[in-house]
Amino acid sequence: MIAPETIALLGLAAGTAGVIDSIAGGGGLITVPALLAAGLPPVNALATNKLQSVFSQIMSTWRYARRGLIEFRSYGLMAAGIFVTAAIGAFTVQHISADALKRLIPFLVIGAMLYMLFSPRMTDVETEPRVSKAGYSPVAGAIGFYDGFFGPGTGSFFTTSLVGLRGLGLIRAAAHTKLFNFASNAGSLILFLAAGQAIWLVGFVMAACAMAGAWIGSHLAMRHGARIIRPLLIVASLALTAKLAWDGFFAS
């Protein structure tokens, strides 16, 4: 039984994560450690995190969609494919060790961060797409599979690939990232719920707080655009790289 004050602190963590995640991703860097510190076993922590995160993504997606920043006709089918590949990833991770992936991902995140730092495309200005929607679909599906299989850095991978490959401006890339994150979280959550791994009370309290945070964060992102999204993406990527490098190479 989790104490009420612990649940309240988890709600505060989820609200903070909701603000950050709706702008730049990386909210799991706050919520997953908080859930583990509260005493939840790792699988329950991951499942409960997916539960609260889905509601945060719903709020962010709705806020961006209201401003007309999401092309559902163009990217809705792609989101459905991400839902499927994330579910496959969540199923696969239950049968295959993710240790090797833990060591590889810091280098992929560093690559995404360097692109954010030095690419002239990382602005709110739309550019010519380098690949078609059909050509981008396998990339999106692979990222969705990764989110179900492991997860950290998914938002950064979606955002940078949408900017670099599809030519979206940074704010529109962030908006579509929320749609894709919702699809991948929902797909993997189904597998966790089927196994009865989520802690419902904790998840719903955190979800309510995360939705409030996502409302605030998406408002800030739409108001300030690349001026706030790009720095937070870089900071989130640095924090993620440091944590994954520590877990993969130094932690016992």
Q: How much is the pLDDT for 206? A: 96
Average pLDDT rounded to a whole number, residues 172-191: 93
The pair of structure tokens assigned to 9 is: 């602190």
Question: What does DSSP assign to residue 97?
Answer: -
The residue whose two tokens read 């989130």 is 236
Query: What is the average pLDDT score of the chain?
Result: 85
Domain spans, the chain? 4-245
Q: Which pLDDT band holds residue 131 (cuts at 50, 70, 90)?
A: very high
Q: Is the pLDDT of residue 36 over 90?
A: no
Q: Which pLDDT band holds residue 210 (cuts at 50, 70, 90)?
A: very high
Q: Is the pLDDT of residue 85 over 90?
A: yes
Q: How much is the pLDDT for 52? A: 94
| Predicted model pTM | 0.81
How far, in Å, CA of 194 to CA of 211, rounded?
A: 24
Q: Is the pLDDT of residue 105 over 90?
A: no
Q: How much is the pLDDT for 99? A: 63
100 burial via Cβ count (<10 Å: 0-12, 13-18, 19+)? exposed
Q: How much is the pLDDT for 242? A: 75
Phi, psi torsion values for 41, nearest 5 degrees: -60, 155
Query: Is 41 in a helix, a strand, or coil?
Result: coil
How far, in Å, CA of 252 to CA of 241, rounded?
A: 18
For residues 49 and 205, is the Cβ–Cβ distance under 8 A?
no
Question: What does DSSP assign to residue 68?
Answer: T
Q: How much is the pLDDT for 102? A: 59
For 25, 64, 116, 120, 218, the CA distances from 233, given in Å and listed in that order, are 7, 18, 8, 15, 14
Q: How much is the pLDDT for 138? A: 97
Sign of CA dihedral 234, 38, 215, 190: positive
DSSP conformation letters of 108-137: HHHHHHHHHHH-TT-SSS----SS-HHHHH
How far, in Å, CA of 199 to CA of 207, rounded?
A: 12
The full length of the chain comes to: 252
Nearest alpha-carbon partner for 23 in 240, 183, 232: 232
